[in-house]
Amino acid sequence: MSLPVILTRDLTRVYQSRKGFFFQDAVRTEALRGVNLEVSSGEVYGLLGPNGAGKTTLTKILATLLLPTSGTARVLGLDVSTESRAIRSRIGLVLGGERGLYNRVSGRENLRYFADLYGVPVARRARRIDEVLELVGMTSAADRRVEEYSRGMKQRIHLARGLLHEPELLFLDEPTIGLDPKSAREIRKLIRTLASQGVTIFLTTHYMFEAEELCHRISVLTRGRIVAEDTVDGLRRLVGGDRTIEVEGYGFDEKELSLLRALPGVSRIVEEDFGPRERLTLRVRTPETTEGDIRASLPLQRDLRIRERTTTLEDIYLDLVEEEAT
């Protein structure tokens, strides 16, 4: 009963690709470097990471579209390399994007084709297609050709396809990427609906707010490694009593930065440019350091703007990603 729905052990994936035509250089990319994770039934699990972190690679391995280089992965208790067909009938996969649909036929015909490929009982097929179309809000556009669809409409059909055979586990690879905010919100709402119906969801995203809104547990993947894994509350505790202070001025030099770093409790400073202005974001671990102390450290700065704001999970996420990068 409490068997994990997804379980990976030291999972790695190396891509060997070739560059050039006549003189081919072998390019080796370690997309996953020892991933261990465990997802339980009924969970909404978020895999968060920047571009190129390995999110799609991990999703495809779990969905049996890519073989691991080493390590093991079990999905619904089945091995992804040797029992792939049994896994496929029980999971749904939404890779999304502009591609991946038959453009010359309608959304409904695309769904019918995949309903057959997934073995949805013929007697139920038409009704099930209507149901998923309704669920993703595509009923009225269902009979138009896919080539006339917008990005958001294609994404909805991708989602509908993933749901046709009522999978118990759903993989969603960046389900809202490239969508306008309104469509993205509707997709998130749909994901919450599915989760409330008991579907286990494995979702990747590069937005912390999305993971925070949807997921029970979140792991952060950077450069093929999981650098943190916790519940949303657990990650919040990681924030602890941390304060975040933003300091804006017309450029800061090394001397000023080291003075700020020397202030009590200052653990990290992130620099960002805005035209002639520069913003420093300070992570401060003690309550003593005040706005006055910061001003005192920067006597030559004119038009300094200092404001304290709440530390968000996004801050924690950026910290984790940057720590790994350095």
Give residues 11-30 in contact with Mg ion (rule: CB under 5 A): none
Q: Closer to another protein by CB, 52 or 234: give it.
A: 52
- Give yes or no for a contact between 246 and 238, defined as CB atoms under 8 angstroms apart: no
Q: What is the DSSP string of 193-237?
A: HHHHTT-EEEEEES-HHHHHHH-SEEEEEETTEEEEEEEHHHHHH
Whose tokens are 């019918």? That residue is 112
Selected range binding another protein among 45-53, 55-63, 178-186, 316-324, rule: CB under 8 A: 55-63
Q: Closer to Mg ion by CB, 172 or 247: give it.
A: 172
Q: Closer to ligand ADP by CB, 29 or 231: give it.
A: 29
Q: How many other β-carbons are positioned within 10 Å of the β-carbon of residue 287?
A: 10
Q: Closer to another protein by CB, 120 or 226: give it.
A: 120
Query: If residue 117 lies in a helix (H) or strand (E), which one and from where to where?
Result: helix 107-117
Q: Is residue 237 close enough to count as binding another protein by CB under 8 A?
A: no
- Give yes or no for a contact between 118 and 104, defined as CB atoms under 8 angstroms apart: no
How far is CA 272 from each of CA 276, 277, 301, 307, rounded to the nearest angstrom? 11, 9, 17, 15
For residue 30, what are the β-bridge partners?
14
Task: Give the number of residues in contact with ligand ADP, rule: CB under 6 A.
Answer: 12
Selected range binding Mg ion among 49-57, 89-97, 108-116, 223-231, rule: CB under 5 A: 49-57
Q: Is residue 103 close enough to count as binding another protein by CB under 8 A?
A: yes
Rounded Cα gap, residues 178 and 60, in angstroms: 20
Q: How many other β-carbons are positioned within 10 Å of the β-carbon of residue 66?
A: 18
- Residue 51 touches which member of Mg ion, ligand ADP, another protein, none, C-beta under 5-8 Å by kind: ligand ADP
How far is CA 196 from each of CA 51, 85, 189, 190, 191, rounded to the nearest angstrom? 29, 27, 11, 10, 9
Q: How far is the CB of 122 from another protein (least distance, A)?
A: 8
Strand ranges, E, within the chain? 6-19, 25-39, 44-48, 70-75, 78-79, 91-94, 169-173, 200-205, 217-222, 225-231, 243-249, 266-274, 277-284, 305-309
Q: Closer to Mg ion by CB, 46 or 107: give it.
A: 46
Rounded Cα gap, residues 288 and 136, in angstroms: 52
Q: Is residue 234 close enough to count as binding ligand ADP by CB under 6 A?
A: no
- Give yes or no for a contact between 143 and 171, defined as CB atoms under 8 angstroms apart: no
Q: How far is the CB of 91 from another protein (least distance, A)?
A: 8
Q: Is residue 52 close enough to count as binding ligand ADP by CB under 6 A?
A: yes
Q: Is residue 19 close enough to count as binding another protein by CB under 8 A?
A: no
Selected range binding ligand ADP among 53-61, 68-76, 143-151, 283-291, rule: CB under 6 A: 53-61
Task: Give the number of residues in contact with Mg ion, rule: CB under 5 A.
Answer: 2
Give residues 20-39 in contact with ligand ADP (rule: CB under 6 A): 29, 31
Q: How far is the CB of 254 from another protein (least distance, A)?
A: 44
Cα 49 to its chain centre, rounded Å, is 6
Q: Is residue 49 close enough to count as binding ligand ADP by CB under 6 A?
A: yes
Applying CB under 8 A, among 97, 137, 178, 265 the residue interacting with another protein is 97
Q: Which residues of this chain interact with Mg ion, rule CB under 5 A?
A: 55-56
Q: Which residues of this chain interact with another protein, rule CB under 8 A?
A: 13, 15-16, 57, 60, 63-67, 85-86, 88-90, 93, 95, 97, 99-105, 109, 112-114, 116-122, 124, 145, 161, 165-168
